[in-house]
Amino acid sequence: MSEIVWTIAGSDSGGGAGIQADLQAMRSFGVHGCSVITALTAQNSLGVEALNPVDLAVIESQLQALTHDLRPQAIKIGMLANVQQIQLVAEHLQYYRDNWETPPQVVYDPVAIASSGDSLIEEDAQSEIADAIKTHLLPLVDVITPNVHETQMLTGVYLIGPDALRDAAQRLQQWGAKSVIIKGGHWDYPQGYCVDFCRHGEQEYWLGNESVATPHTHGTGCTLSSVLASCLAKGYPLKDAFILGKAYINAGLKAAKRYGEGVGPVAHTQFPVNLADFPQVIEPGSWLGDALDFDCDSDFNYAAGFAPCPERLGLYAVVDSLDWLALCLQNGIKTVQLRIKDADADNLEQDILRAIELGKTHQAQVFINDHWQLALKHGAYGVHLGQEDLHSANLKEIQDAGMRLGLSTHGFYEMLLAHNYRPSYMAFGAIYPTTTKDMSGQIQGLEKLRHFVPLMQPHYPCVAIGGIDLMRMAEVVETGVGSVAVVRAITEAADPQAAIAELQQAIAGESE
Ligand SMILES: Cc1ncc(COP(=O)(O)OP(=O)(O)O)c(N)n1
Ligand SMILES: Cc1nc(C(=O)O)sc1CCOP(=O)(O)O
Ligand SMILES: [Mg+2]
């Protein structure tokens, strides 16, 4: 646990929200949480009995103490009770931005209304508070996470449908927030579903799942923003943090219990491990996409459920020529991919045809990268596609031909997007830095592989790829992954035949 995250928020005497929820969520994600308390709310499960903002000097002293020693990678901001508190926190954020070598990422949950329906800001100052948030705080915020009421309060946009959410998010971005996550917990659109929206720069992400039927939802907003801050502190991209936040909340709602006579707290569990807790990535063409009126490319041929391949693919060689492919097959590798990146290569079709024939001769699984039309034309065992290919390839034809489909993923969001298609296998990369391909910003590491494998391997053969060599094979195979794909470990080996034998042995030895 080396990352530090601060929460600047109110204390909830009832123990379900505010600082009390934030620190529990941070612990679940393995970061060290520090607190700056802005208000001592007197709350229980029935409502807010008193607000009690903390003096500015007391907030200042907490911030100073943490600044002197425990500098954070991310800050979660929750309840700020008045305009003066907003200004003070904004001054500090500006200072960190101007003076620290690596300023923290800032996640702001603009807490205004508790789940009991009670206001958490000084009510007679609502409009000044909204103005101060827009003027002082939003320009310093990386992610703002309002619920439907808070979005309407801040933007004046009435959230009647997806376009209204887009419009509201853009307004919040115009005031300075880099990214916006609008929580759909109170939205109930489509009925019985919980849909959340993220606008990150110009990019949009929509996640949805059936609403969890429980009245015990106290602290969900605080918890989500704390998970986001924790994941950002650990270097996760926002779209992955968004997925994990939703999954953690879903698990917490399912496990939530009654404490007191009113709204109980969302439970705090662990880093999400059950696929059933994860949300669905909503895409155009899907049922939820249609319900939300998403535009769909007319030539998009959505298909899900592809022919199976062996549960464990073992050593998987990815090569760029017929000669390498033949050498791998002759040396006993049973899964090989022909990855020719030059679409105008001489003899491209001829090489693909020959690769498919060689695969049949050796009773091996030969996958063709990218060139799905030629793979279809010549009856390949399978194709390997990237996520960017999903809307251009004719998935229906690939499925109808009984051809296997392998899909690349880079992180939790792409993993769930790939899951929508029920492919024949799923690849996770890049596990380590590699020089074969520019994978900057997409290095997953072993810790994430350890999460991906138990989530997906019960459903698909899983493949680890990127920077893997003989030295690293043992720790990769230890994650339980059933297949390891390599390029340079074979093609740049001094003795490729010996390297293949050693790699095969390392996989077999470790998975025994
Ligand atoms: C087994 C395996 N995993 C991932 C990839 C990468 O595929 P993609 O994202 O389509 O990128 P390119 O290989 O086309 O550069 C792969 N080829 N094989
Ligand atoms: C082709 C490829 N795809 C990756 C992904 O993560 O999607 S990593 C990668 C390169 C793998 O090469 P090497 O074994 O030489 O590191
Ligand atoms: Mg590709």
- pLDDT tens digits for range 18-67: 999 999 999 999 999 999 999 999 999 999 999 999 999 999 999 999 99
Task: Report the CATH fold assignment for 4-291.
Answer: UDP-N-acetylmuramoyl-L-alanine:D-glutamate ligase (3.40.1190)
What distance in angstroms lies between residue 384's CA and the mean position of ligand 1's atoms? 7
User: What homologous superfamily does CATH list for 314-511?
Assistant: Aldolase class I (3.20.20.70)
Q: Is 396 a catalytic residue?
A: no
- Taking the CB of residue 105, how many other CB atoms lie within 10 A of it? 23
Domain positions in the chain are 4-291, 314-511
Q: What is the pLDDT of residue 54?
A: 97
Helix, strand, coil % over all residues of the chain, rounded to 5: 40, 20, 40
Question: What's the mean per-residue pLDDT of the chain?
Answer: 94
Q: Whose CA is nearest to atom 16 of ligand 2?
A: 467
Q: Could you tell me if 253 and 272 are in contact, meaning their C-beta atoms sit under 8 angstroms apart? A: no
Residues constituting the chain: 512
| Mutation pick for ligand 2 pocket among 367, 407, 437, 439 (CB with most ligand atoms within 8 Å) | 437
Cα distance between residue 258 and residue 253, in whole Å: 11
Q: What is the pLDDT of residue 1?
A: 54
Residue 512, pLDDT > 80, answer no
Q: Is 219 a catalytic residue?
A: yes
Closest CA to 108 of 90, 88, 83, 82: 90
Residue 124, pLDDT > 70, answer no
- pLDDT tens digits for range 263-299: 899 999 999 999 999 999 999 888 889 888 888 776 6
- pLDDT tens digits for range 156-193: 999 888 999 999 999 999 999 999 999 987 777 788 99
Q: Could you tell me if 62 and 70 are in contact, meaning their C-beta atoms sit under 8 angstroms apart? A: no
Burial class (CB in 10 A: 0-12, 13-18, 19+), 335: buried
Phi, psi of 41 (to 5 degrees): -80, 145
Q: List the helix and strand counts (H, then E) for the chain.
A: 18, 18
Give the ligand 1 atom nearest the CA of 385. 10
Gyration radius from the chain CA atoms: 25
Q: What is the pLDDT of residue 172?
A: 98
Burial class (CB in 10 A: 0-12, 13-18, 19+), 37: middle
Q: What is the pLDDT of residue 302?
A: 83
Q: What is the pLDDT of residue 243?
A: 98
Instruction: Return the DSSP state at 318.
Output: E
Residue 114, pLDDT > 60, answer no
Q: Which run of H or E residues covers position 209?
A: strand 203-210
Give the ligand 1 atom nearest the CA of 425. 1
Mean pLDDT of 408-424: 97
Question: Quick check: do 4-291 and 314-511 share a fold?
Answer: no
What pTM does this model have? 0.95
| Mutation pick for ligand 1 pocket among 320, 325, 339, 434 (CB with most ligand atoms within 8 Å) | 339
Q: 120 is written with which tokens?
A: 């958490």
143 contacts: CB under 8 Å, gap ≥ 6: 105, 106, 107, 108, 177, 178, 179, 180, 181, 225, 228, 232, 238
Q: Strands 74-77 and 47-50: what pairing?
A: unpaired
Q: Could you tell me if 134 and 150 are in contact, meaning their C-beta atoms sit under 8 angstroms apart? A: no
Q: Is 41 a catalytic residue?
A: no
Q: Whose CA is nearest to atom 9 of ligand 2?
A: 466
ipTM: 0.96
pLDDT band at 121 (very low <50, low <70, confident <90, very high): low
Residue 488, pLDDT > 90, answer yes
Q: What is the pLDDT of residue 117?
A: 60
Q: What is the pLDDT of residue 122?
A: 65
Given the residues 76, 183, 239, 448, the one annotated as active site: 183
Q: Is 183 a catalytic residue?
A: yes
